[in-house]
Amino acid sequence: MITVDERGSITSIEAASPDERLPETHPGAVFLPGLVDTHVHYPQTRVKGSASGPLLDWLKATVFPEEAKFADDDYAAAVALEFSAAMIAQGTTTASIYGSPHPAATDILFATLARLGLRAQLGLTLMDRGAPPENLLAAGPALAACEGLIERWHGHDDDRLRFCVTPRFALSCTPQLLRGAADLACAHGLSLQTHLAENDAELRATAAAFPDAADYLEVYESHGLVGERSLFAHCIHLSERNWDRLAERRACVAHCPDSNFFLGSGVMPLQAATSRGVRVGLGTDVGAGRTFSLRRVAARAYDAALLRGAPVTPEALLWLATRGGAEALGLDDRIGLLEPGFDADLCAVDLPTSSRRDPFDALLFNLDAGPVRATYVRGRRLLVDA
């Protein structure tokens, strides 16, 4: 029995007596801390699983045309609901989200998350070059739009929603926009997210676009984008020295193995991060990721770790999908543990009785078993209306 106070914090966890009258029960279910998706793209919901990779080809053929559709507010609103519903259905309670390059569509997603009760950090996806004109917004108006979104949403509902500065990646931002993004994050004390070292062709193009930088990470360092509130997705093609620098600056990593397999990007060396104490969470990276299920992503992370010759346990993977994600998002004082004092963000998962002997294996690796029965944030069950 989990009891929750009026603010949604857990007050106790104990066995219920047989005659207890409980407001909600899930007989036979296993309760997990809510899953934390540290990297997901809202405007790619409808192109999830489109096989047009590798990365730069996929962005051009699939992503940019789809993201351009978010200029239409009705389209954006319909997808915002689908996106939120898909996360709730998989037991995700918190996400770090790339919004649309369009301020109105990003505002619509904020409003949808606010209404449905999910916890998130979310940013306008900043891009002022490297894509068709309908996907771009110049640095001045883009940063002004961020200020408006910060004003409207950052800290909403006792900090359930936060704004996160989101330069897409080095190739889609001019130096002026990268610098402006860093200044914005600094001025408001905000988190920042971007992509780093995902794909070979991307690395070559980045080196050509930023000839003064010794490597990809230095592009971000030299524009003031690397610090303890920075979250870098992918991090596949980094040197040992790069990993040292990420650790020294206390930056965080979103590990997105399903996406990395689907786009043929490579295998992130998880151990390079964990052995240095770099905070790591798991990311679905929908739509290069083929699923909103972080349990499936954890299964891919297991495969990836084996390929790297450094196996991980299912317990460690479940930790990454929950507590690790909370740490990477700087929310570990509130979520990621089912303990008194923490917010009651959790999910109830059906687990067949035949799986009870090895529940961690069954939860993560039996891909056919155990649907999510209910998802809660601050003790409130998340339900999607029409």
Q: Report angle CA 212, 216, 217 to the nearest 5 degrees.
A: 105
Closest to ligand GUN by CB, 33 or 101? 101
* Nearer to Zn ion (CB atom), residue 285 or residue 343: 285
41 contacts ligand GUN (rule: CB under 6 A): yes
Closer residue to Zn ion (CB): 301 or 351: 301
Number of chain residues interacting with Zn ion (CB under 5 A)? 1
Query: Among the candidate windows 55-63, 81-89, 109-117, 322-330, which touches ligand GUN by CB under 6 A?
Result: 55-63
Give the nearest distance from C-beta 316 to ligand GUN in angstroms.
Answer: 24
Interaction between residue 285 and ligand GUN (CB under 6 A): yes
Among 259, 284, 293, 375, binds ligand GUN (CB under 6 A): 259
Provide the token pair at 316: 């460690």
- Please tell me whether residue 198 binds ligand GUN under the rule CB under 6 A: yes
Least Å distance, CB 373 to ligand GUN, is 31
Could you give the string, one character per residue 267-306, with x where binding to Zn ion holds by CB under 5 A and - elsewhere? ------------------x---------------------
Q: Which of 169, 232, 292, 342 binds ligand GUN (CB under 6 A)?
A: 169
List interacting residues with ligand GUN (CB under 6 A). Answer: 41, 55, 59, 63, 168-169, 195, 198, 259, 285, 288
List interacting residues with Zn ion (CB under 5 A). Answer: 285
